[in-house]
Amino acid sequence: IISSIFLLQSVVAWPEIPSKGKHTRVQDAQKIDENDATAPGFPEPINNVTVSVGRDALLACVVDNLKGYKVAWVRVDTQTILSIHHNVISQNNRISLSYNDHRSWYLHIKEVEESDRGWYMCQVNTDPMRSQKGYLQVVVPPVIIESLTSNDMVVREGLNVTLMCKARGYPEPYVMWRREDGEEMLIG
């Protein structure tokens, strides 16, 4: 991850997305003074988001003093640029972007999949680049895997029996056994 963050931070120029034509112009980032109170900055962190698989997720990035700089959303682990300013770059049709007042930038992910789990970065094309990250946690409700779970069994009283129950989900589910009549069950 350290090398991927270094690669992302070394990018100081982004392609400008043309509205017509086939050519792309590269716009250089403008140098800023780190101590300049009027320089672009993040007044609040990106909140980590937890969402169930299949639901929609929303990551919010607030930028003060954006001026003529541009905001981008990047998927950190894959180093994929998702959006640059007002344009969605990703070919993933579940990704969309919204913004208001040139201050709040929202990354929308529709029908979240497990593969969407990870870090997302909001960055401003200053020099040096300014950025912050938020984590998207995708939870998968537990489900019992019927093919790996024991069926009904009949045994004589006093004999041992082995029952199996397998489940999947994220985080990994904890399987607990209990008797329907509430009596103590000897496990061992």
pLDDT in tens, 133-176: 999 999 999 999 999 988 888 999 889 888 899 999 999 999 88
| 60 in a structural domain | yes
Q: What are phi and psi of 14, to 5 degrees?
A: -120, 150
Domain count, the chain: 1
- The reply to whether 23 falls in a domain is yes
Q: Please indicate, yes or no, if residue 186 is contained in any of the structural domains.
A: no
Specify the pLDDT at position 111: 98
pLDDT band at 132 (very low <50, low <70, confident <90, very high): very high
How far lies 156's CA from each of 56, 153, 159, 179, 185, in Å?
Answer: 51, 10, 6, 17, 16
CATH number at residue 68: 2.60.40.10
Average pLDDT over residues 120-140: 96
In a domain, 102, yes or no: yes
pLDDT digits over 30-72, tens only?
566 566 778 899 999 999 999 999 999 999 999 999 999 999 9
119 with 107: CB under 8 angstroms? no
Mean pLDDT across the stretch 2-13?
A: 31
Return the pLDDT at 176. 87
**Cβ atoms 108, 13 nearer than 8 A:** no
Distance, in Å, from the CA atom of 88 to the CA atom of 67, rounded to the nearest integer, reads 20
Does residue 184 lie within any of the structural domains?
A: no
Burial of 57 (0-12, 13-18, 19+ CB in 10 A): buried
Q: CB of 122 within 8 A of CB of 70?
A: no
Backbone phi and psi for residue 56, each to the nearest 5 degrees, phi listed first: -95, 145
Write out the E strands in the chain. Answer: 13-16, 25-28, 30-31, 49-52, 57-62, 71-75, 80-84, 87-88, 95-100, 104-109, 118-124, 126-127, 130-144, 167-170
Give the pLDDT of residue 5.
29
Write down the pLDDT at residue 39: 87
Boundaries of domain holding 97: 2-140
> For residues 174 and 166, what is the distance between their CA atoms, to the nearest angstrom?
10
User: How would you class 90 by CB atoms within 10 Å of its CB: exposed for 0-12, middle for 13-18, buried for 19 or more?
Assistant: middle
Residue bearing the bigger pLDDT, 154 or 118 = 118
The verdict on residue 151 lying in a domain is: no
Q: Please write the tens of the pLDDT for every residue from 69-117.
A: 999 999 999 999 999 999 999 999 999 999 998 899 999 999 999 999 9
78 part of a folded domain: yes
- DSSP state letter for 41: B
